[in-house]
Amino acid sequence: MSDTREPEAKRRGSVGSKTPERSVRFESLSGIPIKALYTPADLTGKSYEERLGAPGEYPFTRGVYPTMYRGRPWTMRMFAGFGCPEDTNARFKYLLAQGQTGLSTAFDMPALMGYDADHPRARGEVGKEGVSISTLDDFERLFADIPLGEVTTSMTINCTASVALAMYLVVAEKQGVAWDRVGGTMQNDMLKEFIAQKEWICPPEPAVRIVTDMIEFTSKHVPRFNPVSISGYHIREAGSTAVQELAFTLADGLAYVDAALARGLDVDSFAPRLSFFFDIHNDFFEEIAKLRAARRMWARFMKERFGAKKPESMRLRTHTQTAGVSATAQQPLNNVARVAIQALAAVLGGAQSLHTNSYDETWALPTEDAVTVALRTQQIIAEETGVALTIDPLGGSYYLEKLTDQMEEAALGYVRTIDAMGGMIRAIDAGYPQKEIADAAYRYQLMDDRGEKVVVGVNKYVMKEERPINFLKIDETVELEQIEKVRRFKASRDARRVERRLAQLADACTNGQNLMPVLIDAVRDYASLGEVADVYRRVFGLYREPIIF
Amino acid sequence: MAERTVRVVVAKPGLDGHDRGAKIVARALRDAGFEVIYTGLHQTPEQIVTTAVQEDADAIGLSVLSGAHNYLFKRVLELLKEKGAEDVVVFGGGIIPPEDIAALKTLGVKELFTPGTSTQDIVRFVRQHVRAAV
């Protein structure tokens, strides 16, 4: 009952007071004030069981599995994709040979927005931001020689995720792999598209209907597959604070659960396969606290709001990625250090899966050398540092536990606001999360501009002359070749069959049946990604965003 | 007679949805006293030039992070020329490698701002290089 209660000033007056505190902001990146010292007094009010519990047990604060990395390390899953399918297939194989343990696919903007490579709106964009995919043939080439019964694949694709899933399942079928052995994740989180990543075709209601179709379909036919990766990463990258990222992501999750329940599904039939995806930014302890708070909050929502019975329904499993926005174009090798520290935070935060950025990614897609360093970063953490030898090693830290509590409380405030608006879809219609993000992004930029936040190499420790580095360049011939391949593919099909399938798809869209079986039939008969997207455009209409800045 | 306020169209051409920077630039320019028209996402070069002509814009700021900058900037410049609107200042930013920056400037892009730029640099640029049409 002594030192821990002494006021700050008195404590500062003791040994070491010749060094008064620096004039920096003592607060986390999301603005939570940070004290000089945390003590047991910061953690009164809750028992260990209430606040933490054991790993693998409600409320899962310390981790979703009983053995965590002692049983199996996190999946090292490097996001990859560029050029034509053969280019990406080669990068997939390279990364697997270098020890990554799962695939993660980046698609180009035309595929992400529902345009085939030969569409006028794809001009200049083919293969630039990810791999060019328009047809089933592209998908087969993308996964050539990759056993889909043995490797899990994550696909970062959203408004056309239904097509990607259909194509993936047909490729598996062609490999002789039964769907109940197929494992992977579709990002397929449309709510965060309207909020942050901005890849859309139709408005929120039909978009969520398609997501729900995929949740329902996979729960019955592809049980090892995660049909959604409810994402905070993009929300954070668009400029939100860590607290907003946490709140908006979970609120999106609540909306998907609501939608699936409204469909008549039993919560325990689909909730175990809802997965998540968080950003890992610079504030080391805040990011660890964020993941722990996320697990605890989600477990409580699933149990108390939705009455889930299975522990698997309450477990927040998450992929993580080191923060793209924290990387600098100046002195790019510094990004290796940033990524290493962020990756460590992801591991100490108990992530199930991790992508580490390459140091050259502020300039271009990663070169082979750069992506190797990024993968090795994870391997060094796993094999050399010892941090994975025990579960939740930072659990019990006065600072970390207090920060976890504070983030949970702050995030709950936002969730209550969104609840009061009628849920996330209503909040999106009202422009609420979009405005919060734009405001936070602007505030952050002003702090950067004024030097109130130090960015090493950019507003402090700046170097006039920098050694140039070599970037990956996507050859312009990729676009021409892909266009040619798509044209030939389309010319070689039974065009009438495709037309019939697309008409059936349009019917399924309007009569409310689950789209997936009809879509898979259409893909088997060689309907292209753009053609399916065109059906969605025609039937559901185009989304127009509110102009908010 | 006082010059009218400089009008800037801030646009996102192509399929790229990364609008954090474009929105910040739009807001910074607005806060600095310029008239800003933000087009929103997924604009074709045709739509952007039409907006700029309709709105009597003095400058167009294009934001491209998708790697499609060479085609998109070039197309906007071509269309401005076709419409006889060549004195509209075209600038922009995003993820654009140094050698492409040089090439685009040769084509007529006035300035390109890459990651790490402060909003004040952009405000200063517009003040110095963009005049309201008489």
- Are the C-beta atoms of A234 and A197 separated by less than 8 Å? yes
Q: In what order do the strands lie in the sheet with A225-226?
A: A225-226, A184-186, A153-156, A102-106, A75-80, A353-355, A317-322, A274-280, A228-231
Note whether A130 contacts B: Cβ–Cβ < 8 A: no
Provide, as residue numbers in chain B, all residues whose Cβ is less than 8 Å from the Cβ of A239: 20
pLDDT (tens digit, 0 to 9) for every residue of chain A, 549 residues total?
344 444 555 555 455 567 888 888 899 999 999 999 999 999 999 999 999 999 999 999 999 999 999 999 999 999 999 999 999 999 999 999 999 999 999 999 999 999 999 999 999 999 999 999 999 999 999 999 999 999 999 999 999 999 999 999 999 999 999 999 999 999 999 999 999 999 999 999 999 999 999 999 999 999 999 999 999 999 999 999 999 999 999 999 999 999 999 999 999 999 999 999 999 999 999 999 999 999 999 999 999 999 999 999 999 999 999 999 999 999 999 999 999 999 999 999 999 999 999 999 998 899 999 999 999 999 999 999 999 999 999 999 999 999 999 999 999 999 999 999 999 999 999 999 999 999 999 999 999 999 899 999 999 999 988 877 888 999 999 999 999 999 999 999 999 999 999 999 999 999 999 999 999 999 999 999 999 999 999 999 999 999 999
Cis? peptide before A59, omega within 30° of 0: yes
Note whether A64 contacts B: Cβ–Cβ < 8 A: no
What is each CA distance from A375 to A85, A336, A438, in whole angstroms? 22, 11, 32
Residue entry with tokens 């997936």? A516
Per-residue HEC secondary structure of A254-284 comes to: HHHHHHHHHCCCCHHHHHHHEEEEEEECCCH
Task: Compute CA A278 distance to the chain's CA centroid, rounded to the nearest angstrom.
Answer: 5
Provide, as residue numbers in chain A, all residues whose Cβ is less than 8 Å from the Cβ of B68: 109, 123-125, 128
- Are the C-beta atoms of A543 and B40 separated by less than 8 Å? no
pLDDT the model gives residue A13: 47
Long-range contacts of A498-501 (CB under 8 A, 24+ apart): A498/A522, A498/A525, A498/A526, A498/A527, A498/A531, A501/A525, A501/A527
Provide, as residue numbers in chain B, all residues whose Cβ is less than 8 Å from the Cβ of A83: none
Cα separation of B130 and A225, whole Å?
54
Which residues in chain B land under pLDDT 70?
1-2, 134
Please state which CATH class domain B7-129 belongs to.
Answer: alpha beta
Domain borders along chain A are: 48-449
ipTM reported for the complex, 2 dp = 0.95
Cα separation of A315 and A63, whole Å?
9
Sign of the C-alpha dihedral computed for residues B72, B73, B76 and B78 taken in this order = negative
What is each CA distance from A180 to A150, A225, A417, B66, in whole angstroms? 12, 9, 40, 36
Provide, as residue numbers in chain B, all residues whose Cβ is less than 8 Å from the Cβ of A112: 15
Q: Do A109 and B16 touch (CB under 8 A)?
A: yes
Q: Give the gyration radius of chain A's Cα atoms.
A: 24
Question: Of B44, B72, B95, which has the smallest distance from its Cβ to A363's Cβ?
Answer: B95
- Are the C-beta atoms of A38 and A11 separated by less than 8 Å? no
Could you tell me which chain A residue has the CA closest to the CA of B71? A124
CATH placement of domain A48-449? 3.20.20.240
pLDDT the model gives residue A488: 97
Cα separation of A350 and A68, whole Å?
8
Note whether A235 contacts B: Cβ–Cβ < 8 A: no
DSSP string, A462-484: --SS----------THHHHHHHH
Q: Do A113 and B71 touch (CB under 8 A)?
A: no
Q: Is A298 helix (H, G, I), strand (E, B) or coil?
A: helix
pLDDT the model gives residue A24: 86
Domain borders along chain B are: 7-129
Note whether B114 contacts A: Cβ–Cβ < 8 A: yes
Q: Is A27 helix (H, G, I), strand (E, B) or coil?
A: strand
Q: Please tell me the distance in Å from A128's CA to the nearest CA on chain B.
A: 6
